Structure 1
Amino acid sequence: MTTHLRVVSAGPSSTLQDRGRIGYQRYGVSVAGAADPLLHAAANVLAGNPPAEGAVEFTLAGDCITVEGGTVRIAVAADAEVAVDGEPAPSWTSLRLRDGQTLRIGALRSGMRGYWAVEGGIAAQPVLGSVSTHIRSRMGGLDGGPLKAGDRLPLRLDQAPDRGEHRLDPSLLPRRSGTLRVMLGPQQDYFTAAGIEAFLSEDYAVSHEADRMGCRLDGPTIEHARGFNITSDGIPLGAVQVPGTGRPIVLLADRQTTGGYPKIACVVGPDLATLSQMRPGDRVRFAAVGPEEAWRIRAAQREAFDALPGLLQSAGAFALYDSARLLGFNLIGGAVTGWD
């Protein structure tokens, strides 16, 4: 029997993501991919996969899935409650589950997005070299949309190897701050000196108008110098557009490929994960860096990815015991009463 994961219930916006659909923006195809690549990679490494394997990204709350067929190994990278068959189980730890067992991932206690990966990966059909889901174009994933109750996710492995489990201490991952580093341009000449000063010196709040495509920020108006329309050009990841409202919009993983608003700056790649984990009302600031500093930040991110396997620690074997079974064990073998 082929092993599947059946979706009992799905989070508000759970999608299959990998590194994205690279190399097709010239044809109008959005990249998509994980909004927080480091957490995505951490879930995969915990599960025993290459960092770029497809994994499920969930938003605010996770999914409930049941194993059908063989045995699977799943890892959840998120600050969320996890349960197997109703019994608490650890996140940031690989879990080997057998046929019929149900994994439930609750609401996130912090952050906006989490990830779960299954050893061997989900056997989705790649589209243009990627299994990433881009909902607006109905591309990738299982059927181009988010997970929903009743979906059956085919797996590449019918039987997860019987080995010890691993855990990862999330405090060992790079620390994140509320300051987003940016390189100014390419159209900073479309803004006044006062507009650029406001952008770099004032706080901005994440608005409710935020999703995987982009994040609109509330705060001081950024003053235009030459109007707010340009000839449409390419949109890089992290581009900060400023439309006529003067409120900045940071473009994220599901961004459009071209746009006609001037771009005051571009957020350095690693800091976009910070923004992707912020909730409405959270506050950010921007700080300008030069090309050399941007490359240093990028190199540090690459080192963080490469270091993930070395952060794994042995977690032993994971097993669930109910209270009745625990009471049947001799947990203090060798002890005797004082009068024996």
Structure 2
Amino acid sequence: MTVHILKPGMMSSLQDRGRYGHQHLGVSPSGAMDERAHRLAHLLAGNTVTQDLASLEITVQGPSLRFDAPALFVLTGAEMNASLDGQPVAMLRPTLARAGQALTMQSVKPGQGARSYLSAYGGFQVESLLGSQSTHMRVGLGGFEGRALKKGDQIQLARPLPNQEATLNKLQAVLDELRIYMPAALALAPRERLRVMLDQADLFTDESLELFQSQSYRISPASERMGYRLEGQPLQRKTAKELLSAPTCFGTIQVPNDGQPIVLMADRQTTGGYPRIGQVASVDLAQIAQRLPGQNLGFEVVTAEQAHALSARQEQAFTRLNDSLEPLRKALEQCVAQV
């Protein structure tokens, strides 16, 4: 029932959709950087849409791990050339690991993203703190001991599969016949410009608002789970007046005094006093989460109504995918019933 970490990779941590409802107390939500990929892994591993179990968020360089009991797992997000006992593992496809098999992941393919997600059927046996299993590494909260994984760690599976050959063979037969139709709205089609809604636009000069929408920014090396710092021609404010601190969101774009925007990410601070020039539409948060320092991005302004319509379309696609995976969930329930 244990997953043994043989090699931790660059930075691997347990993340779910976040620790919400406590930001007014100074607790950052944290959670998966690419929530879209996390949710895909969660559903494709046979978990229900009403659950939010942690997946393993893997950054740039993948880990190696060994299953000491049968498990069903899925990989989504960035391609990292994964193999199970030397056999290639397909992305976005449920894979059955037998007891003793080792999963090995390499580095991300150039230009193919920054983060992969590994979800297991039933999730991992870790404590939920403040309603979430997410790891906030800056404060040592949640996940597995509040930190990134390291060599020698052992994580328990919450719902192990029976180590019975006949039962596992039946499950493998279901997986071989399983047809997965991925809605187009859940694909990560690369975008040069992220869609944003303007926020405190009246604080910036007209020239800066035009520059914000026309130039290409370079992602600074000083970028991580708290925020992505961007490098470009500085944006100018009309006045240098001080602002009251206000709540922040994933995707809030702040502009400090140097005029270089910062896109706040999963481990953001709970409030901020810098002017907010915009908010990245939720459907495009994965676009920046899958970019690496040194890469470029731009912004395209949309209305709140357009952003809401894009989000609704994505949610409808998740619902369709969840409904189509009912045969997989039934097969897994029958398998677990044999334990």
- TM-score band by shorter chain is 0.7 to 0.9
The CA distance in 2 between the partners of 1:107 and 1:243, in whole Å, is 34
1:256-271 alignment, distance < 5 Å: 256-271=269-284
Select the residue among 184, 188, 197 that pairs with 1:183.
197
1:232 aligns with 2:245: yes
Q: Name the counterpart of 2:125.
A: 123
The CA distance in 2 between the partners of 1:273 and 1:212, in whole Å, is 13
Contact 2:46 2:325 in 1 (8 A): no
The CA distance in 1 between the partners of 2:7 and 2:284, in whole Å, is 32
Shift of 1:158: 2.5
Contact 1:228 1:242 in 2 (8 A): no
- Local SS of the residue matching 2:318: helix
Shift of 1:311: 6.8
| Structure 1: tracts of 5 or more residues without a match | 316-340
The CA distance in 2 between the partners of 1:58 and 1:193, in whole Å, is 41
Q: Name the counterpart of 2:228.
A: 215
The CA distance in 1 between the partners of 2:321 and 2:202, in whole Å, is 41
* TM-score w.r.t. length of structure 1: 0.86
Q: Name the counterpart of 2:337.
A: none
Q: Name the counterpart of 1:296.
A: 309
- Aligned residue pair count: 312
Structure ranking higher in strand proportion: 1
Decide whether aligned partners of structure 1 residues 228 and 19 sit closer, same or farther in structure 2, where only a CA change above 3 A counts.
Answer: farther
Select the residue among 143, 146, 151 that pairs with 2:153.
151
Contact 1:238 1:268 in 2 (8 A): yes
The CA distance in 2 between the partners of 1:40 and 1:111, in whole Å, is 14
The CA distance in 2 between the partners of 1:202 and 1:177, in whole Å, is 14
Contact 1:7 1:152 in 2 (8 A): yes
Decide whether aligned partners of structure 1 residues 115 and 27 sit closer, same or farther in structure 2, where only a CA change above 3 A counts.
Answer: same
Question: 1:215 is matched by which residue type in structure 2?
Answer: Y
1:279 aligns with 2:292: yes
1:45 aligns with 2:43: yes
The CA distance in 2 between the partners of 1:228 and 1:277, in whole Å, is 35
* TM-score w.r.t. length of structure 2: 0.86
The CA distance in 2 between the partners of 1:62 and 1:86, in whole Å, is 15
Q: Name the counterpart of 2:335.
A: none
- Local SS of the residue matching 2:320: helix
> Who wins on radius of gyration, i.e. which is larger?
1
| Structure 2: tracts of 5 or more residues without a match | 329-339
- Local SS of the residue matching 2:259: coil
Decide whether aligned partners of structure 1 residues 169 and 108 sit closer, same or farther in structure 2, where only a CA change above 3 A counts.
Answer: farther
Runs of 4+ off more than 4 Å: 166-172, 310-315
Contact 1:178 1:274 in 2 (8 A): no
